[in-house]
Amino acid sequence: MALYPISTKSPCLAYHRWDGVLRPYNQWLVKPPRIYDESLSSLNHFFYDPGADKLVGYAVFSTNAWPGWAVWRYEWEAVSGAFLNRGQANIFAIAWANHAGTGSYGAIYTTWKSGYVISQVKSSNLSHAAGMWEIDPWSWNPQRIFNFAVVNRENKIIAGVGSWFLETWDISGTPFLKGQLRLPQPLGYLAYEDRKHCWVITQKGLIAKANYQIPRWEMLSSVQNPSSDAVNYLCAFDTKRKCLAVFRQRPDGPDGACQCQLEFYYPLYRVAGLTTPVPVSRMRAGDRVRFVSHLYGDTGEGVASYLMYGEILEPASGKLLTPISGAELNGGATFRYRAIAAGMDTLKVSATITDGEGA
Amino acid sequence: MFEQIYTSTKAVRFESGIQPGGLCYLASWDAFFLLNFNKVDKVFRDGTQISMGNPISGWAMGNRQGGRHCWFPYSISPIDCYGADEITGQYNPLGILNPNWKIPAWRAGDYVDDVAGVFLHSVSAGLIKIFRLADGYEVGQVLIPSGPLYDSIAYVSPGQAFAFDKESGKVALIDYLTPTLLWQSKVAPFAAAAFDCRHHLVVTLGTDGKIRIYLCTPVPASLSAPAFSPVGNPYRLAGKKVITTLTGDMGEPCQDYWIHWELLGTPPRGSLLKDKSKTDAQGQAENFYFGPVDTGGEETIKVRVIV
């Protein structure tokens, strides 16, 4: 499996234009050629709110106005990533809540900077109210502190990330560690898909899908065109449309304009390249010579289910015995060729990729 | 010397200019896992290289039975050896391959066969020791005459592994269950090497970043004079087996080569069963010679190989 990009909304945030009045805070913001009086510092929470059918983010801004910072709650349209609304949010949504995300029963859960528990919170302000679900990994053996967590209350499973490992804990009785997966890079964000699967995006744009119940990795891919200037990546899984939304944080443009973008991906086959056919057996006149070529995705993952076509370019002296070959699960396809006599031939391999075609 | 069949036009880029920490063929990928300093890459045979994350700092890579790899933390001793995840190539924190015996001495590129329950450690020049994973007991060793300190040991087939030395390009095929050295050969010096156990190929990554692919059949260097087996003269019309052996420059057998047989007498005295036969895994091709009705006289058998 790979990831098929559906659409991109860029920029997905619009900054407030400077009114020309110089205030004492963060004066770099309004230094020409910059023309906006605010700038995104970080997006701390990013999730799909199934109740509202919206993407939600909580962001910290640097501002020119007092007190030099602001916390905003953003809402984006889940299909297109169009900006819907932003409203002032409580500082505690940033200072206390760590990383919020969707979990089972369509609820929102977060880890905390101010404590070690994982709590169900309100989507509107990330506050925990009495009677809401909560669990304390610090009371487990061994004790745990998670920065990110996926909560599956139905199957009584917690998948959490403290640093380099995605850990699965069974909380049906006395909590115990079921398994660990090492992350390929430092984590950008963790998103719940369903009772079995979650998505991981790293700070450099690798995207992995895990079956956290076993646990095991099921796919490794990446964002399309990972940019070297990206500051961070966050992801949220739209459980209604079964697609992955990625927030790519990029530095402001020369005039201070926001360059952050929302990208949407379907977990479908997508081809990034085709390797040159390489001989894997002895090349002798009269022998059947095997050549192997691979169809691969953004992170080298094999792309299966496509037919690959081979062709000996003119002037041809040998014969291609298998002009059509199917890509295996690892994306590899084998072509057999026989030369009549010693000489040189050129093997061309191609695949017809139907744009947007799924598995 | 192994026969080279391919050199990539693309060059693999070494991170920070530092030579890679290891290359392993992953059978499930049909491609190679490269420990590239502070990155891990997937590398295809044509040199296409895709970064897929970062390794854990301070860990080294080893080879594992079945076309897989494993990880060792090299800052501590004795060590646990961990299996690797097949999607990301990262180590599996709960997948310890040696739960009963912590390995006291090891090198990057050493080999674990957790099916047969052994660990192969390249100890010193030409010496590979074999330890039982269950309790660390040394079950045997393979001594390779004039062999170097091998940089990596890679899976070939159940019970067999190749030892690679990057500086000299020397390659030794060992049977670690017997344990014996089967034969030695050579490739061009390289930065890292792996064995493609699916297609039975030696694949090296040169210091120039290029992928080179070698058949496991050495380039023929010597064809022995045909000899009767068992030794002795043929008796009249009774057939007698005659054998010739095709070997490379290090005495390694050359398999799957056609040998052409010919009697040089005018007219020929006696006859040959076949005028061509193929060399087997020992590099031997055989034929039958049937003598003339009268037993006197001499005949010469000429053998040739078409390379």
Q: Which residue has the tokens 């006696």?
A: B270
Q: B222-305: same fold as B2-216?
A: no
Residue A235 CA: distances (Å) to CA of A99, A297, B148: 11, 19, 50
Interchain proximity B6–A278, CB inside 8 Å:
yes
Q: Which residue of chain B is at minimal alpha-carbon distance from A221?
A: B52
**Is the pLDDT reported for residue A356 higher than 60?**
no
Residue numbers in B near A283 (CB within 8 A): 5
Bridge partners for B215 per DSSP:
B201
Task: Give me the long-range contacts of B166-171 (CB less than 8 A, separation at least 24).
Answer: B166/B190, B166/B191, B166/B192, B166/B193, B169/B204, B171/B2, B171/B202
Q: Can you give the pLDDT at residue A359?
A: 32
A243 and A303 assigned to the same domain: no
pLDDT tens digits for range A176-225: 999 999 999 999 999 999 999 999 999 999 999 999 999 999 889 899 88
A175 and A249 assigned to the same domain: yes
d(CA B40, CA A179): 23
Of the candidates A239, A266, A293, which is a domain's last residue?
A266
Q: Can you give the pLDDT at residue B167?
A: 95
A286 and A232 assigned to the same domain: no
Q: Can you give the pLDDT at residue B297?
A: 79
d(CA A348, CA A336): 13
Q: Which residue of chain A is at minimal alpha-carbon distance from B45?
A: A278
Q: Which residue of chain A is at minimal alpha-carbon distance from B218?
A: A282
Residue B279 CA: distances (Å) to CA of B231, B248, B290: 20, 13, 21
pLDDT tens digits for range A131-175: 999 999 999 999 999 999 999 999 999 999 999 999 999 999 999
Superfamily of domain B2-216: TolB, C-terminal domain (2.120.10.30)
Q: Which residue of chain B is at minimal alpha-carbon distance from A297?
A: B50
Provide mean pLDDT across the span A76-89.
Answer: 96
Q: Can you give the pLDDT at residue B237?
A: 72
Q: Can you give the pLDDT at residue B69?
A: 95
Q: Is residue A331 part of a domain?
A: yes
Q: How far is B266 from chain A (nearest CA, A)?
A: 32
d(CA B206, CA B189): 7
Interchain proximity B87–A165, CB inside 8 Å:
no
Q: Is the ipTM of this complex over 0.90?
A: no
Q: How confident is the model at residue A269 (pLDDT cuts 50, 70, 90)?
A: low
Say how many C-beta atoms besides its own lie within 10 A of residue A201's C-beta: 27
Amino acid at A353: I
B281 touches chain A (CB under 8 A): no
Of 2.60.40.10, 2.40.170.20, 3.40.640.10, 3.50.50.60, the CATH number of B222-305 is 2.60.40.10
Provide mean pLDDT across the span A236-253.
Answer: 96
A151 and A19 assigned to the same domain: yes
B57 touches chain A (CB under 8 A): no
Computed over every residue of chain A, the mean pLDDT equals 93
Interchain proximity B31–A294, CB inside 8 Å:
yes
Q: Can you give the pLDDT at residue B57?
A: 87
Provide mean pLDDT across the span A289-309.
Answer: 90
Of the candidates A266, A299, A321, which is a domain's last residue?
A266
As a whole-number percent, the residues of chain A with pLDDT over 70 amount to 98
A104 and A168 assigned to the same domain: yes
Q: Can you give the pLDDT at residue B133?
A: 96
3-state DSSP assignment of residue A345: coil
Q: Can you give the pLDDT at residue A124?
A: 94
A143 and A184 assigned to the same domain: yes
A119 and A167 assigned to the same domain: yes
Q: Can you give the pLDDT at residue A358?
A: 39
Q: How confident is the model at residue A88 (pLDDT cuts 50, 70, 90)?
A: very high
Interchain proximity A219–B31, CB inside 8 Å:
no
Q: Is residue A358 part of a domain?
A: no
Provide the domain limits for residue A201. Answer: 4-266
- In this prediction, the residues of chain B whose per-residue pLDDT falls under 50 are none
Q: Can you give the pLDDT at residue A355?
A: 60
3-state DSSP assignment of residue A94: helix
A227 and A317 assigned to the same domain: no
Name the residue ranges covered by the structural domains of chain B. Answer: 2-216, 222-305
Q: Can you give the pLDDT at residue B161?
A: 97
Task: Find the length of chain B.
Answer: 307
Q: Can you give the pLDDT at residue A277?
A: 96
Q: How many domains does chain A fold into?
A: 2
